Chain A
Amino acid sequence: MDFRKLQSANKLKSTELLFGMALLVGVVIWALLTYFGKTGVGVVPFAVGIALLSVWGSYWASDKIVLTMTGAKLITEADNKQLYDLVSEICIAAGLPVPKIAIVEDNAPNAFATGRNQDHAVIAFTTGILRVMDREELQGVTAHELAHVANRDTLVSAIAATTAGALALLSDFMLRMMIFGGGNRRDNNNNDQNPLALVASLVVIILAPLAALLLRLAISRKREALADVTAVAFTRNPTGLRRALEVLAADNTVVKQKSTAVAHIWIESPLDGSKTSQLFSTHPPLATRIATLRAMEGNS
């Protein structure tokens, strides 16, 4: 498979998913209007405002926050010249400025990248991954992480998180209003409403947060797949990343910092070990990722 075609396909897919989110917002607003009339919609700015405040603060300071949460330590070129060289090389291929580089003390091999934009980006490696991978594999991992920076995935996840958060809040408000403030309904001639529409809007309000979560995870999986392909676009060497993923697949250790808040940014999801179903995982299965890379190797 040609990596350029895969890149466009993945970008299209994730854009479609984002539109799916927007559509979900539209459907929820319809449900609000149907069930509560115009008064119901007044809650929307509050929900959006709260979601924005809670997500965008952490998006803006994502580099500092994630560094603190994971206990990562920044390094200079002199601290680890070979690693610095490796990262700089891919930055040239990607046309990115060299980000801050950090190391996390952890035996489990893993890596992540974060930061609100390419000028405030940070890429981190665990001591485990530096110990267990050779240069070619590390190059693949670095390229994958820098691909997240190049594709602005921190921004994409922030948008998805804000939307999902706002929807969850809306749903919560609505259910409370229904239980405690049923008086609203009398003001908008609900008797004229199609009872089916009322039920439908109720179902929507209850299920919206779940749908939003599923969409958000689907977006995360697509962006991970896109990062794999973009990594190949940078290195022109699918073998490096493929071998790196095989090393990760064979290794059973998991990073200590497995909080769900940061799970999505690691190259291998630390939550993979648990029996979470496919729909609830932030990354595509390693086997699928390895197979896609092998298919690309066949072409070079």
Chain B
Amino acid sequence: MKVLVLVLVVLVILALLAVMSRNRLVRASISVDEAFAQIEVQLKRRSDLIPNLVETVKGYAAHESSTFEAVVAARAKATTATTVTDVAAADGQLTQALRGLLAVTENYPDLKASTNFLSLQEELSSTENKVSFARQFYNDNVRTLNSAIKTFPSSLFVKSAGVTTKPFYEVDDPQDRKAPQVKF
């Protein structure tokens, strides 16, 4: 009789652990989706800042057309991307184009001193940091999900939880991983 009770207790514990494992997988997967949505939110913020930025710079440096075109083209590409790899690729291109634009502004002291540009620059700098941290948070969540899928015992419940491994968000240029820091 006592053996039966013991066996039942063990089975209940195992069942609870199984449920916990499965739920862990589901939650990890949802976290990854949320984190990706967060990246898209920050990318959209950045995208919305760009027309104003381009117009402000044009006001002082009208003939730097190639730089503007690069930014505008990269931005257009970014709005059409949907999969993780496409979004990451477009993100990398736009980051590089923006860096080029900001480098150009170094040659125009009047522009750099204008309050409009300064507040835009702070906004842009903070948004770059947020994009960078959003990428980092997404990758952290992907690491958690993929590890849970591959390690025992949660690996047993992958089918039941209906989860799949997700790709890391990899930006092309290694310099892109560090956001431009603005010192006060």
Give A contacts to B, CB under 8 Å.
Answer: 81-82, 85-86, 88-90, 92-95, 134-136, 236
User: Which of B122, B133, B181 makes the CB contact (< 8 A) with A93?
Assistant: B133
On whether the beta carbons of A82 and B137 are closer than 8 Å, the reply is no
| Contact assessment for A85 and B122 in the assembled complex, using a CB-CB cutoff below 8 Å | yes
Docked-complex contact B136 and A82, CB < 8 angstroms:
no
Contact of B122 among A81, A89, A90, A134 (CB under 8 A): A81
A89 touches B133 (CB 8 A): yes
Q: Which residues of B contact A136 (CB under 8 A)?
A: 181, 183
User: For the complex, what is the distance from the CA of A264 to the CA of B42, rounded to whole Å?
Assistant: 35
For A94, the chain B residues whose CB sits under 8 A away are 137
Is B113 in contact with chain A by the CB < 8 A criterion? no
* Interchain Cβ contacts under 8 Å between A and B, 29 examples: A81-B122, A82-B122, A85-B122, A85-B129, A88-B126, A89-B126, A89-B129, A89-B130, A89-B133, A90-B133, A92-B42, A92-B130, A92-B133, A92-B134, A92-B137, A93-B133, A93-B136, A93-B137, A94-B137, A95-B31, A95-B35, A134-B183, A134-B184, A135-B181, A135-B182, A135-B183, A135-B184, A136-B181, A136-B183
Which of under 10, 10 to 19, 20 to 34, or 35 or more describes the interface residues of B?
Answer: 10 to 19
Residue on B nearest A235 in the bound complex, by CB: B133
Q: In the assembled complex, which residues on chain B have CB atoms less than 8 Å from the CB atom of A86?
A: 126
| Chain A, Cβ-Cβ closest to B42 | A92
B184 and A82: CB pair below 8 A? Answer: yes
Closest to A133 in B: B184
Residues in A neighbouring B130, C-beta threshold 8 A: 88-89, 92
- Residues of the B chain whose Cβ atoms lie less than 8 Å from the Cβ of A135: 181-184
Residues of B contacting A: mostly: helix
Counting CB contacts under 8 A, is B47 at the interface? no
Query: Secondary structure at chain A's binding surface: helix, strand, loop or mixed?
Result: helix
The smallest C-beta distance from A221 to any residue of chain B, in angstroms, reads 27
Q: Taking beta carbons and an 8 Å cutoff, which residues of B are in contact with A? A: 31, 35, 38, 42, 122, 126, 129-130, 133-134, 136-137, 141, 181-184
Measured in the bound complex, the distance between the Cα atoms of B125 and A88 in whole Å is 13
Inside 8 A of A93's CB, which chain B residues have their CB?
Answer: 133, 136-137
Report the Cα distance A135→B38, complex, angstroms: 24
Q: How far is the CA of A85 from the CA of B128 in the complex (A)?
A: 11
Specify which chain A residues have a CB less than 8 angstroms from the CB of B134 in the assembled complex. Answer: 92
CA distance in complex: A30, B38 (Å): 53
4 closest residue pairs by CB, A with B: A93-B133, A85-B126, A92-B133, A89-B129
Chain B's closest residue to A240 (CB) is B181
Docked CA distance A13–B129 (Å): 33
Q: How far is the CA of A92 from the CA of B39 in the complex (A)?
A: 9
Q: What separation, in Å, do the CA atoms of A86 and B125 have in the docked complex?
A: 11
A12 to B140, CA, bound (A): 21
Q: How far is the CB of A139 from chain B (nearest CB, A)?
A: 9
Closest chain A residue to B31, Cβ basis: A95
Q: How far is the CA of A98 from the CA of B31 in the complex (A)?
A: 18
Inter-chain contacts of B38 with A (CB < 8 A)? 92
Provide the residues of chain A in CB contact with B136, threshold 8 Å.
Answer: 93, 236
Contact B137 A95 (CB under 8 A): yes
**Neighbouring B residues of A82 by C-beta, 8 Å:** 122, 184
- What residue in chain B is nearest A88 (Cβ atoms)? B130
Q: How far is the CA of A90 from the CA of B137 in the complex (A)?
A: 10
User: Smallest CB-CB separation from A234: which chain B residue?
Assistant: B133
- Complex contacts, B31 vs chain A, CB 8 Å: 95
In the assembly, what is the distance between CA of A87 and CA of B17, in Å?
37
Q: Complex formed: what's the CA distance from A75 to B184 in Å? A: 20
Chain B residues within 8 Å of A92, by CB? 38, 42, 130, 133-134, 137
A94 to B137, CA, bound (A): 7
Most buried by A among B31, B130, B182, B183: B130
The CA of A82 and the CA of B184, in the complex, are separated in Å by 9
